[in-house]
Chain A
Amino acid sequence: MMRRLAALVVAVIAVLAAPPAQAEAPTIRIAVHTSLTGSAAFGGKAYLDAVRFAVDEANAAGIGPRFELAVFDDGSTADGARAVAGQVIASDAAVVLGPVSSALAIVACPIYGQGGAPAIATTVHADELTANPTTFRTVISTGEIGESLAEYLSRVLHGARAVVLSKDNGYGRPLAARFKAAAERDGINATYRSFGTPAERDAAARELGAVADQAPIVLGMTYEDAVPVMIILRRAGYHGLILGTATMARASFNDLFDKQPEAHTTRGYFTDNVYATSPMILDSANAEILAFADRYEARFHQEPSWETVQAYDGALLAMAALRAAVAQHSALTTEDPRARRAATLAAIAAFDAPSRAVQGINGPIWFTPDRIRQQAVRIGRFHDGGFESAPVQIVPVAAPSASDIASGAVFETAPGRYARLQRVVYTGLYLNGISHIDLSKSSFAADFYVWLRFAKDAGTDRLDPGDISFPNMLSGNFDPAHPAEQGQMPDGTTYRLWRVQGEFRNDFDLHEFPFDRQRLQLPFYHASAASDRVVYVVDRRTAAAGSPAMSTAAGRPPALTAPDAFNDLTQWRSLGATERRQNLVTDSSLGNLRRAGTERYRELSGFVATFDLQRRAISTIEKSLMPLLLMTLIVYATLHFPAALIKERVTVAITGALSGAVLLTAINSQLGSVGYTIAIEYAFFVFFGLATFTIFAALAAQHFRHVKRDHLAAATEHGTRAVFILAVIGLLAGAWWVSAAAGVPG
């Protein structure tokens, strides 16, 4: 209650104080070149949303310069992109974000180069873009996609053959070329086909589909070409591996096949066995992205795509560059556009090493001399129409140890570049029941299943993903070495299931008791491995079997709890449950000299299931406040005692206060050691105040009678009764308000 009041006061002060403070900060304009109309409008709007989100958050922080967006729509056409680029150059914007597709960027970026305007390409893969001297690419290029697909095919899928079908343009050619280079290094025997027209494409697809025992097929094209190719391949009888580009790396890609009859009868008919690269896949993303995803979902009610994350990161980069430029050239806001752009360009170019990187949510952002950001590539796969991180990933290692290289756990992918295999563990938790919650001991008892599915083999890394521990477990029977069930799944993954019963420590916030909501958490962490070796992601495949009320945000699986899981809890009702990857991010190199030079933090892999409960306030109030209510009535009754019972009035009121003290002590002993004032204590304080007030009133009335001023005595009596009743009503109204704010029904 106090906190709310404080929050309200702070909010009022903030509203009053904020405008002048903001008005003093300089305002800098960022141009956004996007497609708000035309065929690419859907992606273009989402792009703008993400950029706006980043800028709004930065402006809300209210420190440093303010940023404004100047939005330009290219109508999804090359002519439009050319026109927009001209407008941007003519504007006063110091930096440009966009465009959103490769075809449009190829037209616009040279114009930005000529105009000296730094352009940050966050979602455009074409390798040739960075030939323009002011274009900085923050996303993997098609060439890098080609190289990573070859690495993945060889190291993880153990493929020794491949067919690369690519489009003969700036998108497909670098992909095929870099795939070829990597394939030769890794000993993959590959054949290459390319196409220029849809007819050539379809013909090539038909030919490939007809080959018996066909090698895995790599599609070097965007989704517009990939969909018809995949339809032809699958219909021709090819159901083997297909490896695709980032334009396919999203759950909605599967919807593009919805109209095909095979997709109606067999979900995932076209997309099963399809892998796609992406700069980010949400289920195995880092803690920063997970936090961003929560904020993004709260605002836009959908999960962010990888393009959204990239756009957000691009906006962070643009703002960091502008801040740095302002710090170096304080007159940046008043100079002419060319000088401003030159300063911003220099500021971006200064982000040229890991130690001088801007911290994006998807890792540090810094550029090589040819304005390319080195970014890890994630590989996802489709299963039954869902898109999830593949169970084994290749992650870069900045500073490998000699022993890791010697053991093969870390391997060289290109001269001077090292990587290791990371396991993605599909994790689920099913709550059988919570038998009790003990506030005084800050604990609760839970009975649940936890399961893991993970790749059996992750190279020479002997790490066991099942070596997990529950840090909050006070007592119980969890032994990671003895699962209740274990076995192999048809997709080659290993499955382990444990039943865990025990007492878990939990921190309860009792400020609003008895109108409080509590969050019970069951976190676990891997006993040793950091998130570069293993990540625990939500198992989205497990079928929904519970009540919809138990489900949470869109896309998250329901069925976290048994229908009767909370039946033993008489004081609580369930509000919902969530489960998610949990990372313990430590902002320290932790004495590791290798970490000190590059990524100065450690992310410990874990998982957490959360169950939200609401106290049944009525029953608690009945139990704890009924005696107090009766005492209040008795104290009130003394206000109607005749004058002759003045002594009894005082005695009853003071005895009432004593009883109140005893009741308060009883409640406090139930709740354990709580150092702050809980909501129910305010009711007791009001009661003590009323008892004191009653005594004063009785004395005052007695005094007036004694001095023969009976009318004043009578007025005192009446006034006291009115104040008493008003105080009680006020208290009840306050309780109602708190309970309504806390969402207590009724």
Chain B
Amino acid sequence: MRARLAAALVAALVWLVGAPRAHADTPTLKIAVQSSLTGVSSAAGNAFLEAIRFAVDEANAAATGPRFELRVFDDASTEDGSRAAASQVVASDADIVLGPARTPLAISACQTYADAGLPIIATTLHANELTKNATTFRTVISTGEIGEALGDYLGRVLRSRRAVVFTIDNGYGRPLAQRFRDSATRQGIEASYFSFATTAERDAIAHDLGAVKDQAPIVLGMEYEDAVPVMITLRRGGYHGLILGTATMARASFPGAFAKEQEERSTRGYFTDEVYSASPMILDSANAEILAFADRFEARFGREPSWEAVQAYDGALLAMAALRDAAARHPDLATLLDRGLQREVVLSSVESFDAPTRAVLGINGPIWFTPDRIRRQPVRIGRFHAGVYESAPLQLLPVADPDPGEVASGAVFQTEPGQFYRLQRVVQTGLFLNRIPRIDVAKSTFGADFYLWLRYAHDAGPGAADPVDIAFADLVSGRFNGAKPAEATEMADGTEYRLWRIQGEFRNDFDLHRFPFDRQALAIRFFNARASSDRIVYVLDRRSGTIARPQARPVTTAAVPGVSPAAAATQPVPAASPISSTLASPAAFNILTQWDPVGAHERRDTLVTTSALGDLRRIGLETPRELSGFLVTFDVQRRTAAALGKMLLPMLLMTVVMYTTLHFPHALTKEKVTVAVTAVLSGAVLLSAVNNQLGSVGYTMAVEYAFYVFFGLGLLCVMYVMAFEALRLSGRETAARRVEHVTRAVFLITVAVTAALAIVVFESSRTSV
């Protein structure tokens, strides 16, 4: 016994002392971050640093491979600062650089890094000219690519044959206009080009463009600082047609730039409706990896990640992968004295990611570079509606290795030699819960009655998958026929609208470990029966969420909206529900007697299969197959008091009875045993009743521990009788008395501890909500 104890102590000591040492043994590799932590770009710069730190923290927490350390350098948002920061980075012990956050700051810095042979990863800088520097790797789309993507989108999706391209005359705007011209020429788009160098020129051109009747769609090749005044001038000039913009406009906060304008205050979206913009990522239609990242990001920072955050995170993943690779090739990399050699090794590692099969898997797709250090990245197109930014209903998605059959059918098409694309439908999806009539834990099902709607582009080219071909895998009983919607109509923006009412029983996995303190998530999920996410994505319809919810009158049973703001201000407000009224009817959970709603979530869902599934084109690409779907979960918390009262009151009485046996006189010794055994038997009957209600549960539930304690107390009472009688018969009355007192104390303490534990579990279940 003692030997065992000693062994356990030694093991614990080894673990405590050994673990840090093991960590200390792993090499530490340094990554420099050049960002703008002060000055005009500090908001973007700090966000950039946050995302990188997040990636590094996650990698270090995984505790596999080398550890990473950040060396942070602030360029104060100025070119001089950038130059100074670059010199400091070169002089530091870092082997790779992430940054800077803005294009003008990168021009001189990248040159400095190139001279020092230091690899730099530009994650959010679009300027084409940057990659002329021999050590600069760009992981984001360039302005040239944005121009080309806007040209392709305008011709292929928006089917316009005319355009006006209005660009700033610098390294940002020129490549955009140039590549747009290439695309326009290929497609036969008739385009006219304007450029400006000063704000006066800019405003004069915008004024002229806005005044033209029947103006062609306008492409803005400039950053948001110029785009905002241009758009104000255009809209005020009477132009309310299409505007296509750059990634600097591609964010939900962009309409906020117009918040002070009178027109925007009276009509939300006055300036930004009909505005499309290109972006490397739009969250609503992002892949499963990004959605998972967004959850973690939101949990840490309390906000959604921007596309820049995703790019910065991916950049950090790339930098760490390169350092790991370099460290694998040179195990003494961290201790090499020649810094030039160190950086050379790392540079060659980054350069070795030169094909899809040798890519680093970023959250926004695989990262590999062309010989001119450019990452090929799909461009997403978003659009604004009433101040909300969402993915446009059709996207152009690159196809790496097209199927000849699909090329022949037109489902996959060529934009330029060797560049193939297909159209992806973005389906705006929403669900509104009418009610949950029952939850049957024993059968692992729940009933649900809800509306489901989809809004999607009418035409997505030949061979497009059908967005309504969806299936509810968990639907046990009830009907869903995608071909027979309750409503089918087309919207003013050209999208198709389908609405279904679905009533049925859904299978659900209930976790009863904490029963009766349990909280359950009721999941309603569907997947497209066939199409993977390169053809269709189901995204959350944010437009319905923006409808101002009116308030119910107190006396009416069926609440309908329409209360004027002034009237609403003074009308009774219904009790706040934890579930948004855009997602569920206020009475949706009223019929459930055992459950309270505590929350609801809806989001895009994807079934990711990491296997190539026998498709030779997918082998080695590390691009998993994602089946498109949508998931809504409703969280419910059990009303513990009712369940406890019902189940545990009889047991409590039995416990009291059992305790009284400890006070029985000697004459009732036999009865002490009889009562204890009978009480245990009653407990067994009650336990089986509880189990019958909950169905087949393979693990031990919280309530069962209470029963086990009860059975243990029964056993204690029986053992006490044995010991007591044995001591008494052997004439040791004092010892027998002591046993009796101890048993009573143990009994009471056990009951108190059990009750205390129950309270702790109950409280923790409440606070976890």
Give the interface of A toward B (CB within 8 A).
57-58, 60-61, 63-65, 287-288, 291-292, 295, 316, 320-321, 323-324, 326-328, 347, 350-351, 354-359, 361, 364, 366, 401-404, 442, 469, 471, 474, 505, 507, 509, 525, 527-530, 583-594, 596, 599-602, 604, 646-647, 650-651, 654-655, 657-658, 661-662, 664-665, 668-669, 673-677, 681, 684-685, 688-689, 691-692, 695-696, 699, 702-703, 706
Contact = CB atoms under 8 A, between A and B. Distances in A.
Nearest to A530: B487
Contact of B501 (A474, A604, A654): A604
A528 B485 contact: yes
B660 A695 contact: yes
A583 B668 contact: no
B193 to A, nearest CB: 35
Given A591-B541, A596-B544, A673-B693, A661 B438 contact: no
Interface in B547-564: 547, 549-550, 552-564
Nearest to A324: B566
B499 interface: yes
B667 A64 contact: no
Interface in B628-664: 638-639, 642-643, 645-646, 649-650, 653-654, 656-657, 660, 663-664
B562 A357 contact: yes
B455 interface: yes
B653 A590 contact: no
Interface stretch (B195-203, B412-420, B427-435): B427-435
Interface string B572-603: 11000000011001100001011000000000
Contacts of A364: 562
B484 A600 contact: no
B689 A677 contact: no
A745 B163 CA distance: 84
A673 B543 contact: no
Contacts of B557: 287-288, 291
Contact of A651 (B567, B571, B660, B671): B671
Given A590-B430, A596-B547, A689-B653, 9 more contacts: A324-B567, A358-B567, A403-B489, A527-B484, A592-B491, A600-B562, A654-B674, A658-B681, A688-B649
A530 B455 CA distance: 19
A681 B656 CA distance: 19
A366 B565 CA distance: 13
A64 B484 contact: no
Interface string B434-457: 100110111000010101011100
Given A61-B572, A401-B490, A665-B688, A583 B558 contact: yes
Contacts of B650: 661, 664, 684-685, 688
B185 interface: no
Contacts of B501: 525, 528, 604
B538 interface: no
A675 B668 contact: no
Nearest to A354: B562
19 contacts: A64-B572, A287-B557, A320-B563, A507-B438, A528-B501, A530-B487, A586-B432, A587-B559, A588-B582, A590-B432, A599-B560, A654-B657, A654-B678, A661-B685, A674-B593, A674-B646, A675-B593, A677-B646, A684-B650
A311 B749 CA distance: 69
A650 B556 CA distance: 58
A657 B692 contact: no
Contacts of A699: 660, 663-665, 668
Contacts of B560: 288, 359, 585, 587, 599, 601
B689 A669 contact: yes
A586 B484 CA distance: 20
A651 B674 CA distance: 7
Contact of B585 (A351, A587, A604, A706): A587
Contact of B653 (A328, A474, A688): A688
Nearest to B454: A591
Contacts of B486: 527-530, 604
A692 B653 contact: yes
Contacts of A471: 449, 503
B637 to A, nearest CB: 13
A591 B543 contact: yes
B659 to A, nearest CB: 10
A369 to B, nearest CB: 17
B276 interface: no
Contacts of B493: 593
Contacts of A599: 560-562
A654 B594 contact: no
Contact of B572 (A63, A469, A505): A63
Contacts of B159: none
Interface string B506-545: 0000000000000000000000000000000000010110
Nearest to A668: B689
B761 interface: no
Interface string B694-710: 00000000000000000
B499 A592 contact: yes
B594 A675 contact: yes
B569 interface: yes
B524 to A, nearest CB: 15
Contact of B581 (A509, A587, A688): A587
A676 B593 contact: yes
A662 B437 CA distance: 30
A351 B501 CA distance: 34
B494 to A, nearest CB: 10
Contact of A647 (B447, B556, B671): B671
Contact of B563 (A287, A359, A684, A685): A359
Contacts of B543: 591, 593, 596
B487 A592 contact: yes
A601 B487 contact: no
Contacts of A596: 543-544, 547
B682 interface: yes
A417 B454 CA distance: 28
Contacts of B558: 287-288, 291, 583, 585
Contacts of B591: 507
B271 interface: no
B563 A358 contact: yes
Contacts of B668: 646-647, 650, 699, 702
A696 B657 CA distance: 8
A734 B567 CA distance: 48
Contacts of B563: 320, 357-359
B685 A662 contact: yes
A110 B688 CA distance: 80
A422 B11 CA distance: 81
A350 B566 contact: yes
Contacts of B566: 323-324, 327-328, 347, 350, 356
B308 to A, nearest CB: 30
A702 B454 CA distance: 77
Contacts of B564: 320, 324, 350-351, 355-358, 366
The 6 residue pairs across chains A and B that have the minimum distance between CB atoms: A675-B594, A323-B570, A324-B566, A591-B453, A61-B554, A528-B486
A361 B681 CA distance: 60
Contact of B556 (A288, A588, A702): A288
Contact of B642 (A583, A601, A673, A676): A676
Interface in B266-289: none
A586 B434 contact: yes
Contact of A359 (B449, B549, B561, B654): B561
B330 to A, nearest CB: 57
Interface string B344-377: 0000000000000000000000000000000000
Contacts of A529: 486
B569 A327 contact: yes
B2 interface: no
Contacts of B492: 593-594
Nearest to B449: A471
Contacts of B663: 699
Nearest to B386: A596
